[in-house]
Amino acid sequence: MDKTISTFSKNKFQEVRVGVREFKGNDLVDIRIWTQTQGSSDMVATAKGVAINVTLLPQLIKSIQEVEKVLKENRML
């Protein structure tokens, strides 16, 4: 399956796309920066991002929740 689930703006020229991808027979959660090509409105994927096996998603969610807790405790969020 290759499906973008969520997209949000990083800045004026870049966005973050979160999705599910298949690569070499492995199902991956892919979080990647996409950027505009110069002189065009077309977006292309950059090498900046992370792709992890879908079986690791619960650990990723737990880690993000822990980061959120620390940020809230330090009034950064």
- pTM for this model (two decimals): 0.86
Q: Is the dihedral of CA 11, 13, 19, 25 positive or negative?
A: negative
Q: Are 15 and 2 in contact (CB under 8 A)?
A: no
Ordered alpha helix ranges (H), the chain: 57-73
CATH number of the domain that residue 67 is part of:
2.30.31.10
At residue 38, the pLDDT reads 85
Which pLDDT belongs to residue 40? 82
**Do you know the residue count of the chain?**
77
**What domain count does the chain have?**
1
Low-confidence ranges of the chain (pLDDT < 70): none
pLDDT of residue 41: 81
Domain that holds residue 7: 3-73
